[in-house]
Amino acid sequence: MRRGTFQWMKSVNKSIILNKIRTNGPISRAQIAKDTKITPPTVSSIVKELIEQEIVIESEVGESQGGRKPTMLMINSTNFYIVGVDAGPDTVDCVLADLSGTITERTSQQLKLPITNKQFLSVLKETIQRVIQSTTSNMEKVVGIGIAMHGVVNVETGTSIFAPNLSLSDIPIKAELEKEFGLTVKVENDARAMALGEEWFGNHGQVDSMLAVNLGRGVGAGVVIKGKLYHGAYDIAGEIGHMMMDMNGEICECGNRGCLQTLVSGPAIAHRAEKEIGLESITGEGVFHLATEGDEASAKLLHETGTYIGIGLTNLIHIFNPRKIVLSGGVTKAKQFILEPTQEAIKDRALTPQAKRTDVVITELGEDATILGAVALLLVELFDLE
């Protein structure tokens, strides 16, 4: 048996009880039985197993309903670890986190281009090795490794099919890392992992449909429906950076013209600033700094960027109608300039009064949204939610 495969999840009742404790804990055995309609003796015996396996602990004593005060149960979050990796295009960032998403170790390595598949896999192995070594706890406590990978990913095989900014293809990430570490490995596209990170750790409560959009060097999104990632028929659902906004627009790295990415990504903002306001060798961040210093042309450019984002999101609202849209990535650092015009554009253009009020927020997870998503890939596995 591979380490970290968690054989205890094989029974349906066990999975139901564990998830009841995860979502409602601290909770008593009696309450679990009542809510899940599983008989009290079955609840007791499964809870006994879960406590022996150290995934559940008894916590404080709860309120008495007349009679003895019940012992409360909760997930033993700090007893297990997950390795989360945000891989590419510029760096490989790696963390060790517990089951509540609290990061206890962190490391990062710059990627030097050009790079081969073999060199890329070596960087992955080195960074993962470093965070695993840094923990004093036993390897048995590591549940597995989650990888949020730049580019197009086959999640079944855990292969990176195409990583455009690294000019790599067909990297057998899952196979190589499982061989190296003997742990369960899950691989997902980075924008989709980010969406899962929002679902688990973003404090959004129960939303049955959510779109998480990354606005950075590239533009991508993840769609979460009833807690699950939507991949589409051929794994490209969420490639909203290549939604075409203007058939006569700038040429995109994908070869098409006028993609959303050519208007609102960090490099696109810099390019537009050069073209439209004559700023030389500027970065997207540079435009933001100028705007905060009171440069009106830069502020106007960012305002327009917000309008473009809002038009793109309105298109998505009309296709997918999410309850909530979460924005993250470097471009959202300029939220004071872009968020309002984004919301205005939706209000002006969406079809119905409810759609006009679609909730658009900036992530609370900062730059860790993606890497926490990589961690969440293993939580989905651990809690048997697939």
Which residues bind to Zn ion, rule: CB under 5 A? 242, 252, 254, 256, 259
Residues 6+ apart with CB under 8 A from 285: 266, 330, 333
Cβ of residue 222: shortest distance to Zn ion, in angstroms?
A: 18
Both tokens of 216, joined, read 């950075």
Q: Are 178 and 185 in contact (CB under 8 A)?
A: yes
Measured from the CB atom, the residue of 15 and 256 that comes closer to Zn ion is 256
Q: What is the DSSP letter of 79?
A: G
Cβ of residue 117: shortest distance to Zn ion, in angstroms?
A: 25
Cβ of residue 262: shortest distance to Zn ion, in angstroms?
A: 7
Measured from the CB atom, the residue of 92 and 252 that comes closer to Zn ion is 252
Cβ of residue 219: shortest distance to Zn ion, in angstroms?
A: 9
Measured from the CB atom, the residue of 220 and 310 that comes closer to Zn ion is 220
Measured from the CB atom, the residue of 183 and 240 that comes closer to Zn ion is 240
Cβ of residue 163: shortest distance to Zn ion, in angstroms?
A: 16
Measured from the CB atom, the residue of 264 and 339 that comes closer to Zn ion is 264
Q: Residue 211, by phi and psi: left (phi above 0), alpha (psi -120 to 50) or beta?
A: beta
Q: Are 61 and 72 in contact (CB under 8 A)?
A: yes
Measured from the CB atom, the residue of 152 and 254 that comes closer to Zn ion is 254
Residues 6+ apart with CB under 8 A from 355: 317, 318, 321, 346
Both tokens of 245, joined, read 């906004």
Cβ of residue 336: shortest distance to Zn ion, in angstroms?
A: 28
Measured from the CB atom, the residue of 70 and 258 that comes closer to Zn ion is 258
Cβ of residue 261: shortest distance to Zn ion, in angstroms?
A: 5
Cβ of residue 244: shortest distance to Zn ion, in angstroms?
A: 8
Residues 6+ apart with CB under 8 A from 373: 84, 146, 148, 188, 190, 192, 193, 194, 195, 196, 197, 198, 200, 222
Within the chain, residue ranges assigned H as helices are: 12-24, 29-36, 40-52, 117-134, 173-181, 190-201, 261-264, 266-277, 284-292, 296-320, 335-349, 353-356, 369-382
Measured from the CB atom, the residue of 70 and 89 that comes closer to Zn ion is 89
| Closest residue by Cα to residue 369 from 132, 208, 195, 204 | 195
Integer-rounded Cα Rg, in Å, for the chain is 23
Cis-peptide, bond into residue 267, ω within 30° of zero: no
Distances from the Cα of 356 to the Cα of 197, 340, 342, 353, angstroms: 26, 13, 11, 5
Q: What is the DSSP letter of 167?
A: T
